[in-house]
Amino acid sequence: MTITCKEFHEELLDDPVAALHRYVLIITGGKGDGESGVKTFKLWDRNEPVKDLTSEENRMCPKICLMKSGGETQKRPSLMENYFNVHYVSMWTDRRPSLMSMRRQCSYDIPLNASFDKNMNPDIMLTSQLSGCTFGIGKPTAAKQQQLVHIQPGNEGGKLTPVNKRYHLKKAVRDLLGNHDIYSIFERENQPGDNGYGNIENGAAVIGIRKDNKWKFYAQVFTNPRKISGISLRSVTEISELHSGATYSVDDMDIKSAC
pLDDT computed for residue 89 by the predictor: 92
Backbone angles phi, psi at 194, to 5 degrees: -60, -35
Domain limits for position 117: 5-258
Residue 151 has a pLDDT of 86
Measure Cα distances from 105 to 46, 88, 147, 185, 246 in Å: 33, 13, 12, 19, 27
Q: According to the model, what pLDDT value does residue 73 have?
A: 64
Q: What are the tens digits of pLDDT across the range 120-172?
A: 899 999 998 898 889 999 888 878 889 999 988 776 555 667 777 777 777 77
Task: Tell me the three state secondary structure of residue 226.
Answer: coil
CA distance 200 to 221: 11
**β-sheet bridge partners, residue 171:** none
Between the alpha carbon of residue 135 and those of residues 51, 93, 98, 129, the distances in Å are 26, 12, 19, 11
- Residue-wise pLDDT tens digits, 190-216: 888 999 999 989 999 999 999 999 999
Indicate whether 181 pLDDT > 90.
no
Of the candidates 20, 39, 116, the residue with the CA atom closest to the CA atom of residue 83: 39
Each residue of 163-192: b (16+ CB within 10 Å) or e? Answer: ebbbbbbbbbbbbbbeeeebbbbbbbbbbe
Instruction: Decide if pLDDT at 81 tops 90.
Output: no
With pLDDT > 90 as the criterion, what percentage of the chain qualifies?
A: 25
User: Strand runs (DSSP E) across the chain, as ranges?
Assistant: 24-28, 37-52, 60-68, 83-89, 92-93, 107-111, 124-127, 134-138, 145-152, 182-186, 202-211, 214-223, 232-238
pLDDT of residue 28: 87
pLDDT of residue 158: 59
User: Distance between CA 82 and CA 84 in Å, rounded?
Assistant: 7
Output the pTM of the full model: 0.85
The total of structural domains in the chain comes to 1
Q: Please report, for residues 74, 87, 236, 242, the alpha-carbon distance to residue 119 in angstroms, rounded to integers and kept in the order given.
A: 8, 10, 27, 31
> Where residue 59 sits, what CATH number does that domain have?
3.60.100
